[in-house]
Every structure is written in structure tokens, then in C-alpha cells.
Chain A
Amino acid sequence: MDRRADTSPSIPLRPPAHMMRLARLGSFHQSRLSFMRILTRRMKREAWTFTRPVFDIDANGVGHAVYAAHTPDRTYSLVAFAHDLPADKRSDRVIAEAWDSTFALFDGVPTEADIERLRANVPYQEAGRVTESELSLSRANRSVRLWEYMVSCLAEGRQPEPAEVTKVGYLMRTTAVYGSGKFGAADREAIAARPECNAPFQIEMLSVYLTRTYVRDLMQHMANARGGAKAVTLNPKIARAMGIGNSTGLGMAPFLVNHPELFNNWIAAREAAIARVRSLPSARASEAQLFRDLLARAILSASQWQSDHPVQVEKLAALRPDLDHLAAHVAQTDLRGNMPWNRLFDWAEANLGVDAQECLASLMLEPYGGLVDDLTTQMADTNTEGFRIDGTMTIGAVQQILTQVYDWALDIDWSAKDNCARAWYVSEEKLEPRLGERFDEPIANYEQPLAPGRDAAALSVALTTWDASKPVAEFLLAQPEHRHTVRRAQIAARAPYAEIRDNTIGADLMPIDMLRCKLSFFGASHFDPRSDRWVRICMFGNAPYPEELATSDDHWPYPVLP
């Protein structure tokens, strides 16, 4: 049998109890299953074309532009509005009401009337409204420092220093990309049947991808306007290094808890891919060589990764020597026979920290697109019956699930202050999720159901007085406050990676672990926590621009060695 057709691996998937701890989830790295990678592979494979039908922006940087992506079947258009934002408005993420640029992804080709409708709404973001013709709504602010540096360099006729560019990594950062029906946009269900929208977040990724090209063009436009005949065009190699920044706050953390089946599917796909590669009996010389090359590029990427946050500084201080250690080990290891990837991974688990283990896990998949890329079709959540509770399940069977999936939570003393010090709530101010101190702030009455462990422990206690042979429907009739937990338990019983198996309300919770996990599946890199609750990242750094896609390297997230 062709070993590539062998998708029933002999190495088992890593167990949920091992995987679903926050320390590990918070150490994930992008992989070829990440959503940006799925998109760029499809765009290349299907030879999408890209046009810029409108670029009507004045010398002050005010106006609008349209960037169109043409798939074999349809067109998606990013409608971008460029604004002249006074410096004092570019102040703070949470209270912002104006941005440098605002965007909507239009489903098809917008008419002038569409553009005028969008102009009256998109610049106001949450305060405006879009329609079912729009698939996403987003905004971005400049990196003031890098923007001015690059505009002035090009205007004066010289190329910017690559080191200055990589220090920041992006010219603009988005602060939100809303999809899936937000603010009146089309629901995911409206487009989910399109092949290019099947994998999660493809629309949002496309919006960011087109935004990156717009930002490059806008910066060049401003440099040309300032420098006139003296201005030069940005060296494409330097442009490649620039991604789109993103500041991500707490909104993403509840997402993982609120979409247990979807989350399971992401983790399960990556774990299946890792198990397939670990199960390979041998590796070709070309595959081993590609891995070695990419490891060197991953080491370069880690060296470019900047953060001032003490937790991230510490993680990088462990990751960098671990990757060097891995490279040294790989240099003297035969990767051809005797289940080479499994041997390597076993070694890593015994010798490297969690961050480097997960980096290696992602890296090992790179040579094996033909073996693992099909798993991306399983990453969406298509189970429409997922939220239904099976009321015929016996109370005893529910108790058994609790013991298997939530054993870690049943041992925690949930009455101890430190174990429930935090509460998730939604503030009336911005209608966004926040995390507060339960015993210091008046928030407990507004708590969101984002502590599955605590709730499972409470359910377990409540069930003890019930006859184990009774159907759980009877229990739920009497105690409906446990319905959401019974639902989660039944989901977790069939979707082993659905549940984060850690305390999400403890005094020592680091929400950025949840953010990094989700963002790694997007394909983000260079996580830079700005506090324990929000993180800045880079998206599409080193990715090919539209005109470079056809000849691009599939392994683009790993920077090319100088």
C-alpha cells in the first residue's frame, strides 16, 4: 500500500488530558492546517486573479479603493475607506471610535450605490450597519512609527532598512475583523456551502489578505505624493516581510468555550495530522532536507520575535535555546528510517519545553501536504444537532462522562477564593467580554457561563442525590440551571478535544493562552502579549502578495534565510 494513503496511523493521537491544558494550548504555533495557509494554498491552486478596479485616494490619504479577488466562480471585493485620522484619535484600542482605514468585504462586485451605502456606514464600524451583501467588517490603524519611516524613506528616494521593518512587522494593524452576521452582515450559513468558505474563517482571512495589499499600496501612494519624481518603489523583498498586525482582546477567549465542537475539530485535525506523520515508517531524503531547512528558518523567525511582556520574554528565553538544541540533535540524527518523526518527537517530549514541542509538531507537518492537508476539510462545525441534549441518557452515564472528562475539575475546591477569583462578564459600555475580580467588583451577577470546570463540579454534586438509572431529562426538568453543563458534557463525550481542561476563572488564569491558541489556528505568528488579556500579533508576514502567489513557496510563514 502507498504509505501516503495510510491515514489510519499506528501512533495514537495525543490524549485530551495532555493536550487541553492552557499551558500547552498557549504554546501553539501556526501550521499548514492554519486558516491563512488553507486560503493561500487554495488561491494558488485555483489560480485566483486579483484586480484593483478603484483607487481613488488623494494626496492626504483620504478616499476609497476596491480590491477584488476573482475565484473560478465568483468575485469578492474589499471596499477600503482611507481616512485622515488626527493623532489624538489614534489613542486606545478599547475606546476607539475612529480609525485610519475601515473596510467591508463585499460579496461580488459593488455598484456605486453600494459604495455610497458603505461609505455612510463602514467608517463608523459598530455604530454603522451593513447588509447581507457584506461578508465582513473591519478596521485598521497605522503603526505611526513605521509608516512615517517608510513613507519618508521612499519619498526621499531610498529603501527602508529591513531591520527597521522587521522590528514592527506591519504597517497597519486591524483591531477587529467581524464576520458571521455581525452588524447585519451575511451569516456564515449563507456562504458555508461554497468550497472556498468551507474551512473556518476563510472570509476573514481573505479580508486581511487583501487589506495587506491595500496598505502596501496606500503607503507607496503617500510616498509618491510626498516625494514626487524623487520617490522610489518599495523593494518587493522588504514588502514581503510586512504582515498585518492585529490587536486581539478578550473576545476571542470566550469563543473557544462557546464553540466546543468547532474547537474540537481544530485540535483533532492537527492531532490527526501529527499522528499520521509520526506513524510514517520512513522519510525520503528530500522530506528530511526540507524539514532541516525549515527548522533553520523557524529559528530565524524565533529570533525576530519581539516582546516586552515578562511571560513572553521567559517563553522566548526557553524556546530559542530549545530550538537550537533541537537543531543540534537533528544534525546528528538519521531521519530516514525507523519511524523517524516519531523518534524525533519522543526525543522532543523528553528534552524540550512545551513551546518547542508544539513548534516541532507544526514543523513536522510541513513536508507532508499530501498526507495531511485533506484534514482541513474536517475543521468546520457542520453538526447542526450538536446542541441537542439527549434526555434519555441516564444520570449514571452523565456522571461517568464527568469523571472521565472533568476529573481535573472535580478535585478542585471551588469555594476557595483563588480558584474562582475571576468572573467573565459583558460590560454595558462596549458590549464586549471582560474579565473581572469576583470578590472586588460587582460583577458576579453578570457572570457569563465560561467556567465549564466549576459548573461540571456543581453538576456532579447535584446528581449525587438522584437515582443513577433515571433519564437525565427528569433531572433537567427540576434543575434547568444545569442544562448548559449537561449539553457540554454530552458534546465532550463525543468530541474529545472540545473542552479546555483547566480552570478558566482562577486567580492565575492567563487569558492570553486562550488567545494564542485560537490565533495560531488562524496562522498568526510573533505573539506579543501587551498584558495578560490582550495580545498583538502579525498576520500574513512573509506571505506572497497576489502577483507573487503563482510562484510562491508553500512554506511562506518561515522567513527565508539571508
Chain B
Amino acid sequence: MSYSLNEIEAMAKKAARGAGYAWGPAEEAGKAVRWLESHALSGAAALVGHLNIGDIDGPPTSLQGDWSSATGVLCPLTSGAALNDCAEQLADGHIQRLLDVDHPLLILPFAAWAALHIKAPIKVEWDGVRATTDGYRLRHDALNGDPNHRRAAVVICKMDNATDDLRAPALRGAISKDVWQALRVFAHRTYAPASEASRLLGAGAGVSDND
């Protein structure tokens, strides 16, 4: 089904929060899925896949050297956020390696925002996927089939200078019923159960609106 990008962002944010992320990372997850879906990449499915792995992943243990998690599986959302937080490092020609990354596709939007910040394209590579973005536009090619790998042993992020054939994003996203439903299930955990007190007090109803 066709969704507006705002719908996608709002749903993905709630899903990430519902799965246990703090609000800040959840906000970024929403924007990341929006960015991917606007480039016709299956960001929503990647997020669902990632949220389903449970608590086995973690953030980088340190911002020095190659990034890896103490749990052995690197979280793409927290490491993506760190990549963007430290975008200046990439501007210096630094090559950042991320090891054992869950759903590596989710790294790509964060690399894009880093590119926007340093005003230079960034290339992200994993398992035969090569994607270059200037922040707004994207080229991804030589995909070994599906970019939606569940795990990548190494993700490499570095500055690039080729901006040929970068494609602008679209204004809609297409997400399958099953994936949307899976996001809804996570999002639902952020809603307080309905109660009469909530209906009357919470929204200030109970006063007739007739006049």
C-alpha cells in the first residue's frame, strides 16, 4: 500500500519506541525508515527485522577504531546515530568499519545525514552492496540480490567523490500489509489502554460540544 512519508516516519518511530528504544533513538529510527522508503528501499521491513531480534545487540563499545558491540551484534540504530554524531571524522578521510551489524541497511540513512553535514558524498558497503549518497540523493548498485541482509560481518563507511547517477527520493513509500501490521504491533505498545477515566479526564470530554 502507498503511504505518505509522514505516516511512515510516525509509525516507525512509535514501533522503535514500542520495542524499547528511548525516544531520541526512536525519533531517528522513524526518520531513517522514512529516508529508506523514499528511495524505494525496504526500510520498514529492515526495522521490523531488527526489532524482532530482541536484546542480543548493543551499541559500539567505543568510538575509537573499528566499531563492535560487547554483545557481538552491533545495533544499526545506535551505531548509525554515532556515525552521524561524529560525521566530521569521515570528512577527514577516515574509513569507519562496523563489525557484525544487524540489518545493515538501517545504517545508510545515518551515513546520508553525515554526508549532508560534511557536504561530501559517503559510500556505504557491505556484502556486495555499494551505496553512495550525498544526503539527499542515492545510488545503490551491484546488489547481490536483496540489500536487506539480516547481518553483515563488515560495513564500511567512507567519503566518496563520485556523484554520478544519484537519484532523488520519491514522495511516497510502498509498504506491504504484513510489514505495516508488524510495525503496528510494536507501535501499539506505546498506547495506554483505554479507560473511562482517560476518556473523561484525559481528553477533557464529558462536556457536550453541541451549541
Contacts and interface: CB of A to CB of B under 8 A. Distances in A.
A484 interface: yes
A477 B60 contact: yes
A391 B203 contact: no
B142 interface: no
A484 B116 contact: no
Contact of B7 (A181, A430, A474, A484): A181
A428 B5 contact: no
B82 A477 contact: yes
Contacts of A180: 6
B203 A534 contact: yes
B198 A247 contact: no
Contacts of B87: 391
Contacts of A486: 24
A392 B88 contact: yes
Contacts of A437: 201
Contact of A473 (B2, B24, B63): B63
Contacts of B5: 181, 187, 189
A168 B4 contact: no
Interface in A104-148: 131-132, 141, 143-146
B191 A427 contact: yes
A531 B207 contact: yes
Given A385-B113, A429-B199, A480-B59, A181 B4 contact: yes
B7 A389 contact: no
Q: What is the size category of the interface that chain B forms with chain A?
A: 35 or more
Q: Which of B22, B87, B188, B202 has the most CB of A within 10 A?
A: B202
B198 A441 contact: yes
Given A92-B209, A443-B192, A484-B27, A476 B203 contact: no
A95 interface: yes
Contacts of A390: 85
A62 B117 CA distance: 55
Interface in B1-18: 2-7
B24 A428 contact: no
Contacts of A190: 171
A429 B193 CA distance: 7
A332 interface: no
Contacts of B23: 449, 481, 483-484
B205 interface: yes
Interface in A459-487: 471-474, 476-477, 480-487
A250 B3 CA distance: 25
Contacts of A430: 203
Contact of A446 (B25, B78, B192): B192
A92 to B, nearest CB: 6
Interface in B48-96: 59-60, 63, 78, 81-82, 84-88
Nearest to A473: B85
Contact of A187 (B85, B171, B193, B207): B171
B122 to A, nearest CB: 14
Interface residues of A, number: 77
A482 B78 CA distance: 13
Nearest to A249: B203
B116 A480 contact: no
A236 interface: no
A440 B198 CA distance: 11
Given A91-B208, A182-B6, A481 B22 contact: yes
A485 B59 CA distance: 19
A446 B22 contact: no
B205 A389 contact: no
A131 B174 CA distance: 13
B208 A184 contact: no
A431 interface: yes
* Most B CB within 10 A of own CB, among A187, A430, A474: A187
Contacts of B203: 94, 249-250, 427, 430, 432, 434, 533-534
Nearest to A389: B85
A518 B204 CA distance: 18
Contacts of A530: 204, 207, 209
B134 to A, nearest CB: 13
A362 B25 CA distance: 40
Interface in A415-438: 425-432, 434-437
Given A425-B192, A435-B202, 6 more contacts: A132-B171, A391-B82, A392-B86, A426-B192, A480-B25, A530-B204
Interface of B: 2-7, 21-25, 27-28, 31, 59-60, 63, 78, 81-82, 84-88, 113, 116-117, 171-172, 188, 190-195, 197-199, 201-211
7 contacts: A94-B203, A184-B4, A184-B7, A187-B171, A249-B203, A389-B84, A483-B25
The 7 closest A-B pairs by CB, nearest first: A483-B24, A391-B85, A533-B204, A434-B202, A181-B4, A181-B6, A484-B24
Interface of A: 90-95, 131-132, 141, 143-146, 168, 173, 175, 180-190, 247, 249-250, 384-385, 387-392, 425-432, 434-437, 440-443, 445-446, 449, 471-474, 476-477, 480-487, 530-534, 536
